[in-house]
Amino acid sequence: MNKKIVRISALCVLISSCAFAQQKETISSQDELKEVVVSDSKFALAKEKSGKVITKITAQDLKNKAGQSLANVLSSVAGVEINGNQSAAGKNLGYYIRGGKNNQVLILIDGIPVNDASGISFEYDLRLLPVEQVESIEIMKGAASTLYGSGAGTGVINITLKKSGKKAIEGNAYVNAGTNNTANTDKTSAQNYNQGFSVNGNADKVNYFASLNSTEIIGMSQIAPVNPDDNYEEDRFSRINYLAKLGYKATEKLTLDFFGSYDKVKMDYDASFDNTGTNDTDLNSTDSEQFRFGFLPKYKYSKGEFVLNSSFNKIVRTYNDFDFYSNTPGFSQYESRSVNVDGFNKYEFSESFFLVAGAQYQFHDMNSITPFGGNLKEATKFNMIDPYVTGVFSTDFGLNLNAGARLNIHSQYGNQLVYNVNPSFDFKSIPLKILASYSTAFVTPSLYQLYSEYGNADLTPEKNRTIEAGFETQLLDKKIKLNAVAFYREQTNFIGFYFNPVTFDSNYINIDGMNRAKGVETEFSFALSEKINWNSNYTFTQVDKALDRLIPKHKVNSALDFQINDRLFFNLDYQFVDSRNDAFFDGNTFATTKIVLGSYQLVNTSARYELVKNRLSIFGAVSNILNADFVENVGYNTLGRNFKLGMNIKL
């Protein structure tokens, strides 16, 4: 697609927004947005009183996207790029929001921060979580360290897992299978299998939920062939997930919730220095095991509510690889533990003002055994204690204000103060809300960046300042929904990786100077009729050179949903991803070459039919219908045209 066409399309969207804003339909604010959001105050808040444009992916949205992975679903959101979602299932994922990378995007599961304390970027691996266990998702973009601490530099992805139903016992089972082709293969046999079941219920004061998921994918190599005649081995991806939740309603005011989960992923991968494919063997594999459990009591009283989120998380990653330089097998293991205790209280001073005050404690440690780094158990740990406060003020005439501050007390870096000011105004006479915010954030270096064989104990935290302004509106009797946000972000102390090709020395360093990111995110939906809905979004992101890798300048998503009748649903969606900068590291010469990856377009479709209303449904999906041959990361394969069929049974 010509870049001029993209710019013209974006301009049309913005011009349309101005035209729609001039229309005079009146819709009361109370009826305008009945949704509630949680991410910007930690408590349920009417969307019209929120000072953020928060994207919510509902259970129905996920149902309509049957057959897609969690990474696929998230990458269709305005302002979000999940790099690797179109590659082999075992490919590492990159999270990019507003020019920030993995270490600046915080992922929550049921409100609890999740991460891998031994990972390079400290991020949570979305490959561990099957989308079938997810009930809904909120995405809040912008600096959010005031509420969520280190890591929430450019955005928060808040994932809510499924819960118990209202009956004493209910169940659900599903199975789907599909192909796993690149654009240059055309296998017709099923090579992508996903199945699972869950049981849940609610009896008197006790509720429960338990689920099992199993995924097995074969059929393609992670790395792309250099020559057409190269025969690369297939890289397997295998995953199993167990999840259990138990709730007890002790009194009308006090509820006690417990959870536990076990996730295991086993996958093959390709040697990072193997650029020729001659060493693409099945000797490279990794196992990742995750153990999570927690306790979440809640107490409601006349003026508010107290919540305690506590959890323990342990991840063990084992690599069995082949060193083709020494022609010998290798072994590495990374083990991390994380403890999170976050107690916070909401107190309502009046109908128009409530205060959220809390304190969060986090502990992280890491133990690694590598051929070059040895055992690092003694040095690799730190903890954080963060008191914070946020106030939410709203008025009858439409003015809303969300403001707060957090003091991070870090065992390694001392004190870090962050704050946010987020005013918004909801017009009563016209369906329009305008918003603005100024927020600061910080991101501490990971234990890997500090203490691994490439570590640098003198690293200092990255710091962010973000300004944003925008609006959202609903028009034509709420058939049209439109929002747009412009942002500007400044980042200092950016952590980069330095490699000396002469001495072969390499380590993590803080890059001097300030790096900037700016852009526009806009979302548009139009209910053409009761059965047809059109949803589109456009993202423009421009970043300075130090941040400019794998971030598309322009990105467009557009989807048409058609509820043909009460049993049959059809979807057609389109995605355009602009060209991106990447870097190719040559394992033979140790030279790094900058490369520009071409833009690409994807067209996908799916259909779902309920054989037995609300009980038995089947679906079919075709991804990359046009079989586009493109590159997400230099040297790696991407998915071509693929088919998937599935069935879901509700008991």
The values of phi and psi at residue 30, to 5°, are -65, -35
Going by pLDDT thresholds of 50, 70 and 90, the confidence category of residue 322 is low
CB count, 10 Å around CB of 630? 17
Mean pLDDT of the chain: 88
- Mean pLDDT, rounded, for 84-97: 93
Question: Is the model's pLDDT at 162 over the cut of 90?
Answer: yes
CB count, 10 Å around CB of 62? 18
Going by pLDDT thresholds of 50, 70 and 90, the confidence category of residue 651 is confident
- Mean pLDDT, rounded, for 193-207: 95
% of the chain exceeding 90 in pLDDT: 69
pLDDT confidence of residue 505: 77
Residue with tokens 């009283």: 301
- Mean pLDDT, rounded, for 429-437: 93
For residue range 275-296, what is the model confidence (pLDDT) as tens digits? 444 444 556 889 999 999 999 9
Domains of the chain: 42-650 (2.40.170.20)
Question: Is the model's pLDDT at 607 over the cut of 80?
Answer: yes
Point out the least confidently predicted range of 63-67, 136-140, 294-298.
63-67
Angle (CA) 158-156-150 rounded to 5° is 120
pLDDT confidence of residue 590: 67
pLDDT confidence of residue 412: 84
- Mean pLDDT, rounded, for 418-432: 93
553 Cβ contact partners less than 8 Å away, ≥ 6 residues apart: 540, 541, 542, 578, 579
CB count, 10 Å around CB of 544? 16
pLDDT confidence of residue 47: 84
Considering the entire predicted model, what is its pTM? 0.90
